[in-house]
């Protein structure tokens, strides 16, 4: 089974491996309500890429009352700027970038319908408040696993902002893309709760 390769080897049976759930993107708000911080998932379906410069443009378009170049209602945005594909590849390395840089824009996009974000690193209180209000979810993918995550992307087409190069918005088709629910729609934040369990300071 494909999920098995993402779990640890047999030499460490101390704790049960996390159970992995399969999700199909885009997700309904009902599915989002069933996700809890700490759940590990494999995502298949459609996600959009956007990072710093694309977020700025999307929010400028909304502020100007313009329609967005793609339907953001219930959409999933993956914060990534991939490397160019080698011949025969869909994309090059495609791991997550630091989500915090999108914090200034994320609440505006959630108000417009964005349902889920995939990235890495913690989010501001304003983002978490907006996630509660809009029933949205935030997943972390493994930063630094760009070559592995690239293999989970089976199709890619540029949607808009092609001039931004790696920062252009792309529509990706992903299959069994591994991620962890880090902040759920109730605002529970694994980045705050998990390290405390392993801390041995003092």
Partner 1 sequence: MSIREIDVSAVREAVARLCVKANTELDPALYEALRKASAAEVSPVGRSILCQLVENAGIARATGTPICQDTGLAVVFATVGQDVHFTGGSLEEAIHAGVAEGYTAGYLRKSVVGDPLRRTNTGDNTPAIIHYRVVPGDGFEITVAPKGIGSENMSRLFMLKPSQGADGIREAVLTAVREAGASACPPLVIGVGVGGSFEKCAQLAKEALLRPIGQNSADPFWADFERDLLERVNRLGIGPQGLGGTTTALWLAVEPYATHIGGLPVAVCLNCHVARHESAVL
Structural tokens at position 121 = 């690193």
Stretch of 8-16, 26-34, 107-115, 130-138 lying at the interface with partner 1 (CB under 8 A): 8-16
CA-to-CA distance for 167 and 22, rounded, in angstroms?
28
Do the beta carbons of residue 77 and residue 166 sit within 8 Å? no
Do the beta carbons of residue 59 and residue 105 sit within 8 Å? yes
Q: Which of 83, 132, 122, 84 lies closest to 102, judged by CA?
A: 122
Q: Which of 55, 28, 49, 11 lies closest to 149, judged by CA?
A: 49
**Which residue among 17, 60, 71, 129 contacts partner 1 (CB under 8 A)?**
17
1 vs 196 by CB, closer to partner 1 = 196
Q: Which of residues 69-108 bind partner 1 (CB under 8 A)?
A: 80-86, 89, 92-95, 97-98, 100
Residue window 149-168: x/- pattern of binding to partner 1, with contact defined by CB under 8 A? xxx------------xxx--
Stretch of 11-19, 57-65, 66-74, 109-117 lying at the interface with partner 1 (CB under 8 A): 11-19
Stretch of 61-69, 105-113, 139-147, 169-177 lying at the interface with partner 1 (CB under 8 A): 139-147
3-state secondary structure of 177: strand
DSSP assignment of 56-118 equals HHHHHHHHTTPPPSS--TT-EEE---PPPPPTT-S-S--PPPBGGGGTTTHHHHHHTT--EEE
Task: By CB under 8 A, tell whether 65 contacts partner 1.
Answer: no
**Which residue among 6, 108, 186, 188 contacts partner 1 (CB under 8 A)?**
6
44 vs 166 by CB, closer to partner 1 = 166
Q: How many chain residues bind partner 1 (CB under 8 A)?
A: 60
Contact residues: partner 1, CB under 8 A: 5-9, 11-12, 14-18, 38, 40, 53, 80-86, 89, 92-95, 97-98, 100, 120-122, 140, 142-151, 164-166, 178, 180, 182, 190-191, 194-201
């Amino acid at each position: 089974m494909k999920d098995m390769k993402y779990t640890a080897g047999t030499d460490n049976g101390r704790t049960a491996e996390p159970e992995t759930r399969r999700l199909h993107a885009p997700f309904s708000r009902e599915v989002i309500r069933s996700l809890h911080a700490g759940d590990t998932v494999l995502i298949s379906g459609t996600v959009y890429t956007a990072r710093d410069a694309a977020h700025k443009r999307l929010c400028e378009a909304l502020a100007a009352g313009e329609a967005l170049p793609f339907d953001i209602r219930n959409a999933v945005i993956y914060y990534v700027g991939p490397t160019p594909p080698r011949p025969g590849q869909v994309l090059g390395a495609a791991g997550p970038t630091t989500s915090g840089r999108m914090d200034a824009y994320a609440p505006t996009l959630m108000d417009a319908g964005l349902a889920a974000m995939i990235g890495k690193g913690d989010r501001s209180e304003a983002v978490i408040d907006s996630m509660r209000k809009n029933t949205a979810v935030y997943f972390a993918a493994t930063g630094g696993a760009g070559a592995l995550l690239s293999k989970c992307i089976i199709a890619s087409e540029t949607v808009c902002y092609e001039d931004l190069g790696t920062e252009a918005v792309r529509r990706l088709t992903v299959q069994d893309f591994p991620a962890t629910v880090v902040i759920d729609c109730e605002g529970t934040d694994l980045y705050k709760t998990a390290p405390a369990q392993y801390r041995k300071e003092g």
